[in-house]
Structure 1
């Protein structure tokens, strides 16, 4: 049978989601725990990779197992075995063709920033003390909601067939001294959200106009976009799947 596992993790201590040789990854830790509990080698497939230091409020993976599993019992066993910075939220049976990676309708990210130094937000939010014009940055959001080709916001060395993404949501919001950028799309390119945030910060500081931001998108040239902001402010927030894949 095939199952979806929904997990949450603090990415601070990991070299990203995807398993790598000689590196501590979330997928590697999860596979090891599952293999130990189920007494057979388990290899999970995730909805997508998150880079080193990026967090996930919701990551979804799928696994196959010959025998029917007790979802609540397996969740409890996993949570007792996994480290404190990784938690299983729930396990759900799905149809045998369901894919955590390819069946996702949308993925959503949040980028978190704070303006005043706060030790309790260290490693969880990007400390940025300078003033930002969120109205100007939200004009950038209005533009990217209508845009499709995001090659200028993608890491250069990436293997994809195209750079087209459909953005469903893009909005900057302020909560007291905290600032959040929320974005959802049918897909994201490697480094895309952090590049978008870094470039919109340029607009928010008055170093780049909206027209110049548009020209960056038109250029398809990553070197013309802003810097990539730190990974620790980024959270994979939500993933949506078709309802008919669940049993």
Structure 2
């Protein structure tokens, strides 16, 4: 058997998330379907670094593929991309150690969330358009409160795979880019719906409807309130999966650029 690392990008709009399901179109399901066509008659095992929710995108999801084959990584990449739909793309295939595990070996992960200050015809699937003015200073203050080791039970749905609701959040970063507000959340791992609920609470602080004391309360005492503020999946991207310690995060940049709205009028 050979083991390979797959680096994958995908637009999650048309999919019911990463994890293969009995019914419903998923990213893992499409990858396995393509791999089974390439490696006919061989047992195929494909596991991702973690799940993404329905509608969530990935700039660089990592998976490992285990299969008996003599094909070179570049050939595997080419054959997979020939079979995959246009909204799933294999960025790279490389040989991996026999014990490499895409999920268990990861030491950190980062997500980017994109909020748009204006309505957009072209970027709707990749942003959350918010009409209200947001106070970025309040959001940054609340973001700092998330950093460190905390119990995020208030920010997650129950999941049998999560043995603990304690998560180390390494950084919550913000950047303004034209009509976009970018938020990066980096941490050891993330619970089901945790990032979207964090973003939703940050937005409510920006609106002035929540404050830092509310965030501290959610972290110290279980509350179902953050579920009310769950951000839509459209603006969320799995940015990176990190396997080396002391990784330095890149400059925060937009996933898509919203060009300034055209000013119509007579010349």
Contact 2:156 2:191 in 1 (8 A): yes
TM-align CA RMSD: 1.5
Q: Secondary structure at the match of 1:119?
A: coil
Tell me which residue corresponds to 2:105.
Answer: 103
Aligned residue pairs total 243
Tell me which residue corresponds to 1:164.
Answer: 166
Contact 2:159 2:192 in 1 (8 A): no
| 1:68 CA drift (Å) | 3.7
| 1:90 CA drift (Å) | 0.4
Q: Secondary structure at the match of 1:166?
A: strand
1:23-172 map, 5 Å:
23-39=24-40, 40-172=42-174
TM-score (norm 1): 0.94
Unaligned runs of at least 5 residues, structure 2? 246-267
Contact 2:77 2:93 in 1 (8 A): yes
Distance in 2 between the 1:171 and 1:197 partners? 12
Tell me which residue corresponds to 1:197.
Answer: 199
Tell me which residue corresponds to 1:21.
Answer: 22
Distance in 2 between the 1:76 and 1:27 partners? 18
Distance in 1 between the 2:243 and 2:56 partners? 22
Contact 2:197 2:227 in 1 (8 A): yes
Q: Secondary structure at the match of 1:11?
A: coil
Query: Bigger shift: 219-228 or 63-72?
Result: 219-228
TM-score (norm 2): 0.87
Distance in 1 between the 2:218 and 2:228 partners? 9
Tell me which residue corresponds to 1:8.
Answer: 9
User: Runs of 4+ in structure 1 displaced over 4 angstroms?
Assistant: none
- The verdict on how the C-alpha distance between 1:157 and 1:33 changes in structure 2, with shifts beyond 3 A counting, is closer
Distance in 1 between the 2:229 and 2:212 partners? 17
1:130-186 CA-partner distances (Å, limit 9, x unpaired): 111111111111111134211111114554221111111211221111011101101
Query: Bigger shift: 155-164 or 117-126?
Result: 155-164
Distance in 2 between the 1:27 and 1:239 partners? 17
Distance in 1 between the 2:160 and 2:203 partners? 24
Distance in 2 between the 1:157 and 1:242 partners? 27
| 1:69 CA drift (Å) | 3.0
Identify, as 1 or 2, the structure richer in helix. 1
Tell me which residue corresponds to 1:228.
Answer: 230
| 1:41 CA drift (Å) | 3.9
- The verdict on how the C-alpha distance between 1:157 and 1:46 changes in structure 2, with shifts beyond 3 A counting, is closer
